[in-house]
Amino acid sequence: MDYGATPGEPTLALENGIATIRLNRPEVHNRIEPDDLVALNGILERIDADPSVRVAVLTAGGRSFSSGFHIGKLNASGAQDDSSFGRLADRLEALRVPTICAMNGGVYGGSTDLALACDFRIGVTGMAMFMPAARLGLHYYPSGLQRYVSRLGLNTAKRLFLTAEKLQAEELLRIGFLTELVAPEDLEGRVAALATTLAANAPLAVQGMKQALNAIARGDADLAAIAETATRVRNSEDLQEGRAAWLEKRTPRFMGR
């Protein structure tokens, strides 16, 4: 099912438990406008409220994945600005289901943080990324700095933020910005295969462990709460189904309860 939007705004499509969010401004390298922040937040809320969704994919069309937030709108008057962008990235990281960022091309500025907020990042050969904050005189928002450090390490975060160096695809894979690198013609198939794998696994376990791992990476994990979640999952029908399927040598049918 496709959910339409104002022309140029992000769209949402749902199929077989997979929610696909698509950025739709290829003529400006999928630059994110202030109104897009509102649309994207609405899409994330819709995904979280739909128990049938098991995986979310963030992608785009055209030659680039995204050039980030509209630089001309930084510090502009109105409700949506660069701090709103940071809150969107935080909301994406906190999404209930596992997320895949499918980068069809280059990624720049704030959209590098949207990518890091996803659980898996698959890019294509020939792509590049850079974080131009230092060139713009911009001090990045705290949660974005935290994501860079937790995902990539302090030295790499300093390299990317303080030098504004552009990195090519193979280096992005080496430093961990990308979890996988594929040829452009293989991107769609690889993303579909990973999404199908994630959607087939037990949702309570997958979603609980995703949240726990992110909290551990941020350094703010509540270990007692994680243990409570683990206990609830151990008492779930999904675990019973997983055990039965293992013994019967069949594919499990998880219901998320």
Q: Output the domain CATH number for residue 132.
A: 3.90.226.10
In the chain, the N- to C-terminal Cα span, in Å, equals 24
Answer whether residue 20 shows pLDDT above 50: yes
Supply the range of the domain harboring residue 144. Answer: 2-198
Question: Is 161 contained in some domain?
Answer: yes
Measured CA to CA, the distance from residue 31 to residue 106 in angstroms comes to 12
Same-domain status, 101 and 221: no
Same-domain status, 98 and 129: yes
In this prediction, residue 83 carries a pLDDT of: 78
Total domain count, the chain: 2
Question: Is 256 contained in some domain?
Answer: no
Answer whether residue 73 shows pLDDT above 80: no
Pairing of strands 120-124, 167-168: unpaired
Question: Is 20 contained in some domain?
Answer: yes
Same-domain status, 98 and 209: no
Question: Is 255 contained in some domain?
Answer: no
The backbone torsions φ and ψ at residue 94, rounded to the nearest 5 degrees and listed phi first, read: -85, 0
Same-domain status, 206 and 192: no
Question: Is 257 contained in some domain?
Answer: no
Same-domain status, 20 and 78: yes
In this prediction, residue 250 carries a pLDDT of: 86
In this prediction, residue 111 carries a pLDDT of: 96
Place of tokens 């990539």: 152
User: Which whole number is the average pLDDT over 79-87?
Assistant: 72
Contact 12, 60 (CB under 8 A): no
Question: Is 157 contained in some domain?
Answer: yes
Same-domain status, 114 and 234: no
Same-domain status, 234 and 124: no
Question: Is 177 contained in some domain?
Answer: yes
Same-domain status, 225 and 181: no
In this prediction, residue 237 carries a pLDDT of: 82
Measured CA to CA, the distance from residue 248 to residue 250 in angstroms comes to 6
In this prediction, residue 75 carries a pLDDT of: 57
The b-or-e profile of 59-89 (16+ CB within 10 A means b, else e) is bbebebbbbbbbeebeeeeeebbbeebbebb
Rounded to 10°, the helix 82-93/34-49 angle is: 20
Same-domain status, 142 and 21: yes
Regarding pTM above 0.85, the answer is yes
In this prediction, residue 77 carries a pLDDT of: 42
The backbone torsions φ and ψ at residue 15, rounded to the nearest 5 degrees and listed phi first, read: -155, 125
Answer whether residue 39 shows pLDDT above 60: yes
